[in-house]
Structure 1
Amino acid sequence: MMVRFLRFSLDLASGYKHDEAVALGQKDPAKAKQKYGMDERKYLTRNIFLESVAGVPGMVAGMLRHLHSMRRMKRDNGWIETLLEESYNERMHLLIFMKMAEPGWFMRLMVLGAQGVFFNAMFVSYLISPRTCHRFVGYLEEEAVLTYSREIADIDAGKLPKWANMKAPQIGIDYYKMPEGRQTMRDLLLWIRADEAKHREVNHTLGNLDQKNDPNPFVSKYKDPNQPHPNKSIEHIRPSGWEREEVI
């Protein structure tokens, strides 16, 4: 329910109504485009709002585990670094999109309200059930993957002509070390979607583990490095995460 509520809030803020657009498009494509059509500006608004919220869970979880580790005077088994890296990565997504547009006062108010509510909700929820929070974030990242997939599909369908051959912002090119000849907006969205897919895998995997005792499988060393195992790349990515029996 919470994922659906956040999805609804994001749709409301960006004017995005995919299901309605598809349903109307089957009857009257012209009217559907006029009423629900997404252009570059609307998608950019959506992305900025999405990424301003997406950076919250990793920071909250990393902060709480950091404090917990100091209270117990024990190591955290590598979780903190991965969670903070996730938060940093989401913030970089936001900075990249911010180079393309400055949000107005309404969007800034929406971001302020969403962060205030989401941060406190995550804070309390993570104290109660870290496992549930990681599962929730995994589903939230699935929605992000879906959003970027639709943007890429719209570029390929010619619905976003301004982004078709547009060069990605320099901050994005530098961050991803995008090679020459692959520095378009479409290429950038592919990189960002891959990040979101990895966050999905990481959080579903962490949700499968013993929250207090299991090591972080994404920074662990494995006896047989040639066998598929969790790592920081997307080489062996698993949308639903790795089961505990596979990594412990």
Structure 2
Amino acid sequence: MHLLTFLELRKPGWIFREFILWSQGVFFNTFFVTYLISPKICHRFVGFLEEEAVITYTRCIRDLDAGKLPKWSQTPAPNIAKAYWKLSDDAMLRDVLLAIRADEAIHRQVNHKLADVGPNAPNPFLDQEKGERHPPNENKQREIDTYSK
């Protein structure tokens, strides 16, 4: 959804879109083979990738708040983002960046946790007795600004 949101904002031409498609195809196949060899490495890689994403979004939000990105401060949230994250009708790009950063923080935590547990371990995000999922709650995600650490 993150990619679709930014594609909606940028509205790139067909060459750019083809490059994205080709890149995703190469990455998917490489990641698939690597996951067959070592899921732990893949989860750790994605965890680190998501950490960098949180840092990047934090910097973007900080620059936006500091007035360094005036065009972004005037940009309304795309409809696709409003629908997906249930943002208000008057949501702006800053609201989208906050929602995406929160997503990335959850992905970071989940992937690092999955890299820590063994392949036969029970799902740490599933209540084994009830069969209910328990993703990281909002309180665990309050500390998503890793940029200052």
Q: What TM-score comes out, normalization by structure 2 length?
A: 0.81
May I ask how many residue pairs the two structures share in their alignment? 140
| Separation of aligned partners in 2, 1:177 and 1:199 | 19
Matching residue's letter, 2:115: G
| Separation of aligned partners in 1, 2:37 and 2:75 | 45
Tell me the equivalent position of 1:204.
112
| Separation of aligned partners in 1, 2:75 and 2:10 | 14
Tell me the equivalent position of 1:187.
95
| Residue 137 (structure 2) pairs with residue 233 (structure 1) | yes
Q: Which has the higher contact order (CA 8 A, sep 6+)?
A: 2
Do the aligned partners of 2:125 and 2:135 also contact (CA within 8 Å) in 1?
yes
1:106 to partner: Cα distance: 4.3
List alignment gaps of at least 5 residues for structure 1: 1-91, 223-229, 240-248
Larger Rg: 1
After superposing on structure 2, the runs of 4+ consecutive aligned residues of structure 1 that deviate more than 3 Å are none
| Residue 126 (structure 2) pairs with residue 219 (structure 1) | yes
| Residue 39 (structure 2) pairs with residue 141 (structure 1) | no
Please tell me the root mean square deviation across aligned C-alpha atoms, in Å: 2.4
Do the aligned partners of 2:82 and 2:89 also contact (CA within 8 Å) in 1?
no
Q: What TM-score comes out, normalization by structure 1 length?
A: 0.51
Q: Aligned runs of 1:123-142 on 2, under 5 Å?
A: 123-142=32-51
Matching residue's letter, 2:124: P
Do the aligned partners of 1:198 and 1:234 also contact (CA within 8 Å) in 2?
no
Q: Aligned runs of 1:10-21 on 2, under 5 Å?
A: none
List alignment gaps of at least 5 residues for structure 2: 145-149
| Separation of aligned partners in 2, 1:180 and 1:103 | 25
| Residue 13 (structure 2) pairs with residue 107 (structure 1) | no
| Separation of aligned partners in 1, 2:11 and 2:37 | 37
Identity of aligned residues (%): 53
